[in-house]
Amino acid sequence: MALSIWAFTLLILSVFASTVHAESEERTDVYLSLYAIGSWPYNRDAFFQTGPAPNTSVGNGAGAGLKVAVFPAIGKGFLGIELESFGNSSNITVPLTTGPGAGTTGRTNLWVFNSMANLILRYPGKPVIPYIGIGGGLSQGVLSGANIPGRPDQDFESSATFGYQFLAGVQTDVWKRIFLFGEYKYLSANYHWQRLSLDYRSQYGLVGIGLRF
């Protein structure tokens, strides 16, 4: 469902960009980009059963993402809207202090998937374009291969919630309409599964390549 909404919104933005470009003497900037991403989550105590689980560990991970952005001519190229979807791997290690598994350690894989809408402010210079942004949207934390005594583990269990992020980066042209970019972002989302919850906070670093239209 979220992917369908994202695709529909992308179509609307593309049509809007084409219309603005046709009716304006100034250039509307539209780009599509792909990127690889690394994640460095903060270790924050999970909430297990009826209380916190001290010394919870959330592992680093890697993933990939896709972006599309429109900078209407009316904004002089400084202000734009960006849609992105990205996902990354991770894992959670939970030392158990209560319940039937007390004294043992629970483990599970964690997959994080995000569909975000970002407001981007940039300086449209050449050949380097610095930018900052803020965004929000749907964030999903999916558990797989869970082995946590004291809870009804499933093959897959998803928690969907609102997530938000802050980001900053720089683009640089390499050839005609092709550019490279690097970006830092901070993501926040609170996941709630059966008898387990986690306030997920992570830093991300990403590098990618894009194409302007």
- CB neighbours of residue 170 within 10 Å: 15
Walk me through the domains of the chain, giving residue ranges and CATH numbers.
Answer: 2-212 (2.40.160.20)
Residue 65: closest CA among 192, 175, 176, 187: 187
The pLDDT assigned to 179 comes to: 97
Asked if 139 and 187 count as a contact pair (C-beta separation under 8 A), the reply is yes
The pLDDT assigned to 116 comes to: 98
Average pLDDT, the chain: 89
User: What pTM was estimated for this model as a whole?
Assistant: 0.85
The pLDDT assigned to 51 comes to: 86
Residue 190: closest CA among 148, 160, 157, 158: 160
Q: What is the pLDDT of residues 183-211, one digit of tens each?
A: 999 999 999 999 999 999 999 999 999 99
Quote the percentage of the chain above a pLDDT of 70.
Answer: 87
Q: In this structure, which long-range contacts are made by residues 105-108, counting pairs with CB atoms below 8 Å and at least 24 apart in sequence? A: 106/48, 106/146, 106/147, 106/148, 106/149, 106/150, 106/151, 107/146, 107/147, 107/148, 108/143, 108/144, 108/145, 108/146, 108/147, 108/148, 108/153
Which letter, b or e, does each residue of 140-156 get, where b requires 16 or more Cβ atoms within 10 Å of its Cβ?
Answer: bbbbeebebebbebeee
Cα–Cα distance between 213 and 198 in angstroms, integer? 40
Q: Is residue 9's pLDDT more than 60? A: no
Asked if 63 and 40 count as a contact pair (C-beta separation under 8 A), the reply is no
Cα–Cα distance between 141 and 61 in angstroms, integer? 13
Q: What is the pLDDT of residues 14-49, one digit of tens each?
A: 444 444 444 444 689 999 999 999 999 999 999 998
Residue 162: closest CA among 185, 188, 198, 134: 188
Provide the H-helix boundaries in the chain: 2-23
Cα–Cα distance between 21 and 30 in angstroms, integer? 10
Q: What is the DSSP string of 48-87?
A: ETTEEETT-EE--EEEEEEEEEEE-GGGTTTEEEEEEEEE
